[in-house]
Structure formats: structure tokens, C-alpha cells
Amino acid sequence: MALQVGDIVEGKVTGIKPFGAFVSLPEGKTGLVHISEVSYEFVQDLSAVLADGQTVQVKVLSIAPDGKIALSIKRTQPAPERGARPQNAGARPAGNHRPKREEKPRVWQPKPAAPQGEMSFEDMMARYKSRSEEKIADLKRVTENHRGGYSRRRG
């Protein structure tokens, strides 16, 4: 009996790599279970879930013309209920994840002015001018980097 897409068969894990596990199938064929097809929960390390020589049930997802067989372990198991949280998902409250806002409307308020101390008008203008020049210099440097360096006139 030849393998077909959608078949569920038993196989033996023959190798574990960071991207997936190779599974030996009937008739001497070998397929790959990608790490994303091992479990419905996040899997960081395959060797924590699978072991060499372990017998697993797999579903044939696709068979490429060059003979590569894509397999899935998780699709042989029932899907978890929608909205159900995995056991290791952290200590978040179930249901609505956002805290409730106060019901009164939010109104924009300007930020309070930073304390200026005992600065004269001239001192404030000098500070404004130096900050402005720094910002313009930064802006010029960024725009020149986007243009590919400094510009030279040709002519």
C-alpha cells in the first residue's frame, strides 16, 4: 500500500535536528516532522519532547515530486479548544487581558513646564538656540546618511 496525503501511520523517530525530526515510515521511506508540527504548544527543544527510537503516530501532509514527505504529529491529536490557554502560558488572568479603564472621559492636558529656576530671558534663548542647532545637526547627519554620504557637485 503506497502512502497518500492524509494517511495516518506509525513510524519510528530516527533523528532529531533543531528544525524537526526524521521519522522512518513503512515501506522503508523516511519523512520529516517540522518542529512546528510536533505539538499545538510551543516547542523550544525537540529532544525534550521526542527521543530517538520512539514510536509516534504521524499524518502525511504532503509528498513532493522529489520524494520528500512532510509529516505532522500534532494533526493526529484533537485540536485544543479555541481560547484555551496552555498549561505553561504564564500567570495571566483568563478572559479579558486588559485592565478596565476608568469610565470618565480622558481629556488632553499639556505637560507641566519643566522648572526653569532663576534663568533670565537671554539664558533661556541661548539654551533654546544651542538645542535647536544640535537638533538641526543631527537631522542633517541622518539625511546625509540616507542619501549615501555627502554630496559633491559635478560639472
Q: Give 60-110 pLDDT, tens digit per residue.
A: 999 999 989 999 999 998 888 776 555 555 555 555 556 566 666 667 777
pLDDT at 150: 56
Strands 69-72 vs 30-34: parallel, antiparallel or unpaired: parallel
Cα torsion 34, 36, 40, 46: sign: positive
Residue 111, pLDDT > 90, answer: no
What is 87-105 written as a DSSP string? TTS-SPPSS--SPPPPSSP
Mean pLDDT of 128-134: 92
DSSP state at residue 67: S
For 31-40, 51-60, 130-139, 142-151, which range has the lowest pLDDT when averaged over its residues?
A: 142-151
Mean pLDDT of 14-20: 93
Q: What is the mean pLDDT of the chain?
A: 82
Mean pLDDT of 45-71: 92
Give kind and range of the element (H or E) at residue 24.
Answer: strand 20-24
In whole angstroms, give the CA distance from residue 68 to residue 14: 16
- Is residue 72 within 8 Å of residue 37, measured between CB atoms? yes
Residue 58, pLDDT > 70, answer: yes
Name the pTM for this structure: 0.52
